[in-house]
């Protein structure tokens, strides 16, 4: 980008708020959530949802636990209008859920929007008009006072129509659209005029929504603006300050979080951050951010695979595999050092149950959101011995001792290097069998006779492709075997490490033995499996010798 292009852009103004309080605050409870999936999210889709998809999405939002749902823009199309009528006429809105509709501040659109709500128990009318200099001057050609008059007139009309809605209780939300590009004092002035027209009370508060229609600054400046606004707007106790952030700079969630620290009580957003341009604020990320800090997010996200599936089916949008908290790959490690730490962390967690979760690289327990440890560790050429051993233990219960893990890790790495792709758990198991256990079959026959002080062994074995048979003695079966092999095959073996464990329980219980041996001056590893533990040990030595 040529440097002269930089002249086209200017820095965003800061807020004069030296005693800002938000940096020292924590979020200790969930804000009031409002989903705008069916309006802002929907209007950003190349193919907007049809009525059936909107109904499915509405059901999902209710299941998740949203109590405020912006269901559409009824004056924008017949489909939008009909969807809202369907919700109301088919009585699909639970008593504790409030629907809301968006309207521009124009008389016929307001009237049509109010009409869409007839018969609902309770609903919020959300009116907006654009307030930034570019919108005022270029788009509408109006002065500040004229723009303010539009907001006030629209509010007055909604107020009078609300009084004629019979049993339908109407709440009101006002948004100075393009708030982030609007002079802060002017945004305050226009919102104050709206509030003074509506006359909210503590029992019937107004929602003032301060959208980051386009994200133009770092989140700290947005938080400053929210805190400043909250200090000046009146009567504060009758106003719910809401934020609605977009993700142009990639900080929509951070901006909403800091805004809540700055005093916002309500947050609008969409599932998986769907929405215009780079999206709306992702409700799931913000909720799980709270959850991961031990704060009740007041949403039920325990079946994330279901949420993801319904979302994709309704919107036709993909979910990035690295999407925070929920992407397919976010609970997966390919890198060796990560795998090692995760494996140790999980083992430690299982062996030392504690009240809190502390597993490296996995900030929440995946099962909390319906994910499993399936695939937490996956194997490619970047993976380490720890990950490979973890998979083998999970897949078939084989616990390779620590001292043998590098040997098997290397064997697996050779395969993934040559295939240049991820290896499936069954392929890791296969690699173990081919590396060690197929060699143990080379013990063709054996007979152990244990005496009081020595063991004698009669064996027939294939070593280096050559069948050999012998009778030998030692102070145990392995010792006798080693002595025999030295006599008849001239292979001199010393066992330097040994481990064994049971593989399965019950009638066909198998044992598996692992050995590290020095054979003819080289360190080699072997494994053997057999229902008889002595045979498994001998097979492990055979396996090692045949790997020299
Ligand atoms: O982003 C925005 O400003 C909006 C308003 C209509 C609230 O979606
Ligand atoms: Zn928006």
pLDDT tens by residue, 216-237? 999 999 999 999 999 999 999 9
Quick one: pLDDT at residue 94?
Answer: 98
**Residue 504 pLDDT > 90, yes or no?**
no
Rounded (10°) CA dihedral 329, 332, 334, 338: 130
The share of the chain scoring above pLDDT 90, in percent, equals: 82
Ligand 1 pocket check for 205: Cβ under 6 Å? no
Mutate to test the pocket of ligand 1, among 36, 174, 177, 178 (most ligand atoms within 8 A of CB): 177
**Residue 506 pLDDT > 60, yes or no?**
no
Asked if 301 and 290 count as a contact pair (C-beta separation under 8 A), the reply is no
Among 166-170, 295-299, 337-341, 508-512, name the one with the lowest average pLDDT: 508-512
SS3 content of the chain, % helix, strand, coil (to 5): 45, 20, 35
Mutate to test the pocket of ligand 1, among 34, 36, 40 (most ligand atoms within 8 A of CB): 40
Quick one: pLDDT at residue 385?
Answer: 83
Is residue 371 packed enough to be buried (19+ CB in 10 Å), middle (13-18) or exposed (0-12)?
buried
Ligand 1 pocket check for 279: Cβ under 6 Å? no
Ligand 1 pocket check for 175: Cβ under 6 Å? yes
Angle, CA 337 vertex, CA 332 and CA 343 arms, to 5°: 60
β-pairing verdict for 98-104 and 455-463: unpaired
Asked if 190 and 178 count as a contact pair (C-beta separation under 8 A), the reply is no
Give the ligand 1 atom nearest the CA of 276: 1
Residue 531: CA count within 13 A, CB half-sphere? 5
Distance 85 CA to ligand 1 centre (A): 23
C-beta neighbour count of 527 within 10 angstroms: 27
Residue 141 phi/psi, 5-degree rounding, is 60, 45
Mean pLDDT of the chain: 94
Quick one: pLDDT at residue 450?
Answer: 83
Distance 209 CA to ligand 1 centre (A): 9
Confidence label for 374 from pLDDT (cuts 50, 70 and 90)? low
**Residue 511 pLDDT > 90, yes or no?**
yes
| Residue ranges of domains in the chain, CATH in brackets | 22-315 (3.20.20.70), 337-356+381-437 (no CATH), 443-546 (3.30.160.270)
What does the pLDDT look like over 245-255, one tens digit per residue? 999 999 999 99
Ligand 1 pocket check for 213: Cβ under 6 Å? yes
Nearest-angstrom CA–CA distance, 39 and 280: 11
Give the ligand 1 atom nearest the CA of 280: 1
Rounded (10°) CA dihedral 149, 152, 158, 163: -130
What does the pLDDT look like over 102-144, one tens digit per residue? 999 999 999 999 999 999 999 999 999 999 999 999 999 999 9
Mutate to test the pocket of ligand 1, among 178, 244, 252 (most ligand atoms within 8 A of CB): 244
**Residue 507 pLDDT > 60, yes or no?**
no
Question: From atom 8 of ligand 1, which residue's Cα is the shortest distance away?
Answer: 40
Residue 284: CA count within 13 A, CB half-sphere? 23
Quick one: pLDDT at residue 383?
Answer: 77
Proximal ligand: closest to the CA of 214 = 1
- Is the bond leading into 235 cis (omega within 30 degrees of zero)? yes
Report yes or no on whether pTM surpasses 0.85.
no
Quick one: pLDDT at residue 375?
Answer: 67
Specify the DSSP element, H or E, that contains 43.
Answer: helix 42-43
Confidence label for 386 from pLDDT (cuts 50, 70 and 90)? confident
Among 70-79, 308-317, 513-522, name the one with the lowest average pLDDT: 513-522
Nearest-angstrom CA–CA distance, 327 and 305: 10
**Residue 355 pLDDT > 90, yes or no?**
no
Nearest-angstrom CA–CA distance, 103 and 106: 8
β-pairing verdict for 511-519 and 493-502: antiparallel
Ligand 1 pocket check for 378: Cβ under 6 Å? no
What does the pLDDT look like over 5-54, one tens digit per residue? 999 999 999 999 999 999 999 999 999 999 999 999 999 999 999 999 99
For residue 232, give both structure tokens: 């000046």
Asked if 225 and 235 count as a contact pair (C-beta separation under 8 A), the reply is no
């Amino acid at each position: 980008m040529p440097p002269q292009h930089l002249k086209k852009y200017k820095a965003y103004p800061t807020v004069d708020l030296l005693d800002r309080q938000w940096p020292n605050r924590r979020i200790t409870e969930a804000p009031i959530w409002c989903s705008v999936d069916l309006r802002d999210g929907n209007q950003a889709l190349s193919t907007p949802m049809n009525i059936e998809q909107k109904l499915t999405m509405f059901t999902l939002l209710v299941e998740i636990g949203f109590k405020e749902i912006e269901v559409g823009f009824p004056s924008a199309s017949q489909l939008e209008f009909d969807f809202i009528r369907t919700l109301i006429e088919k009585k699909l809105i639970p008593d504790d859920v409030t629907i809301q509709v968006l309207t521009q501040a124009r008389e016929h659109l307001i009237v049509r929007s109010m009409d869409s709500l007839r018969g609902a128990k309770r609903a919020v009318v959300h009116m907006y008009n654009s307030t930034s200099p570019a919108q005022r001057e270029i788009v509408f050609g109006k002065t500040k006072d004229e723009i303010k008059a539009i907001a006030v007139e629209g509010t007055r009309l909604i107020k009078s129509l609300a009084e004629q809605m019979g049993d339908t209780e109407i709440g009101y939300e006002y948004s100075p659209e393009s708030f982030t590009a609007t002079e802060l004092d002017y945004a305050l002035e226009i919102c104050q005029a709206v509030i003074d027209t509506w006359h909210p009370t503590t029992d019937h508060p107004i929602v003032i929504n301060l959208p980051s229609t386009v994200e133009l600054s770092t989140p700290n400046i947005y938080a400053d603006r929210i805190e400043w606004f909250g200090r000046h707007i009146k009567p504060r106790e009758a106003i719910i300050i809401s934020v609605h952030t977009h993700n142009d700079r990639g900080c929509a969630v951070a901006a909403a979080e800091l805004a809540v620290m700055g005093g916002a009580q309500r947050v609008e957003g969409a599932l998986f951050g769907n929405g215009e341009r780079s999206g709306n604020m992702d409700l799931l990320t913000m909720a799980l951010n709270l959850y991961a800090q031990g704060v009740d997010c007041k949403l039920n996200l325990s079946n994330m695979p279901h949420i993801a599936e319904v979302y994709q089916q309704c919107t036709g949008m993909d979910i990035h595999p690295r999407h925070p908290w929920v992407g397919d790959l976010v609970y997966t490690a390919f890198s060796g050092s990560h795998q090692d730490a995760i494996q140790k962390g999980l083992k430690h967690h299982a062996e030392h149950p504690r009240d809190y979760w502390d597993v490296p690289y996995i900030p929440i327990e995946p099962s909390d959101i319906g994910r499993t440890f399936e695939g937490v560790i996956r194997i490619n050429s970047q993976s380490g011995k720890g990950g490979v051993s973890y998979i083998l233990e999970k897949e078939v219960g084989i616990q390779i001792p620590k001292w043998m893990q590098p040997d098997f890790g290397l064997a697996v790495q050779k395969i993934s290097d040559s295939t240049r792709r991820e290896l499936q758990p069954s392929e890791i198991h296969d690699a173990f069998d081919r590396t060690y256990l197929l060699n143990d079959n080379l013990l063709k026959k054996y007979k152990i006779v244990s005496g009081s002080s020595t063991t004698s062994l009669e064996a027939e074995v294939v070593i280096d492709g050559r069948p050999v048979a012998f009778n030998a003695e030692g102070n145990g079966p392995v010792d006798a075997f080693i002595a025999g092999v030295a006599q008849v095959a001239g292979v001199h073996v010393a066992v330097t490490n040994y481990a064994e464990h049971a593989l399965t329980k019950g009638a066909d219980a198998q044992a598996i033995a692992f050995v590290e041996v020095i054979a003819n001056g080289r360190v080699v590893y072997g494994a053997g499996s057999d229902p008889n533990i002595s045979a498994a040990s001998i097979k492990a030595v055979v396996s090692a010798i045949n790997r020299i």
